[in-house]
Amino acid sequence: AQSVTQLGSHVSVSEGALVLLRCNYSSSVPPYLFWYVQYPNQGLQLLLKYTSAATLVKGINGFEAEFKKSETSFHLTKPSAHMSDAAEYFCAVSSNRDDKIIFGKGTRLHILP
């Protein structure tokens, strides 16, 4: 069985500060890992994905995430937060055995002026 745990349902950072959103996964097989973003009143959009290539993955809008097998983590970071980053972020896990993606509960990111 696969699952993801996102630490913190709400995270607030000041504009220009580092963004760090935490995600830990559980998987009995080598995982595929993703971060999706949801802006208000919209569907989810893929930010970045890890599929067993480079452990440091770069995505859109300046975000990146690092796969750490020893820590079973896939934390999302951005060096400098922008007001437009305010959204809900979902960590997700999948395997190559079926098409399903298991989503975490989400972390709402607030950007303080």
Chain contacts with other proteins (rule: CB under 8 A):
32, 34, 41-46, 49, 51, 90, 94, 96, 98-101, 103-106
* Least distance between other proteins and beta carbon 58 (Å): 16
* Least distance between other proteins and beta carbon 82 (Å): 23
Asked if 47 and 76 touch (Cβ cutoff 8 Å), the reply is: yes
Give the 3-state DSSP-derived string for 34-56, with helices as H, strands as E and coil as C. EEEEECCCCCEEEEEEECCCCCE
Token pair belonging to 41: 């009143």
Nearer to other proteins, 26 or 80 (CB): 26
Nearer to other proteins, 73 or 94 (CB): 94
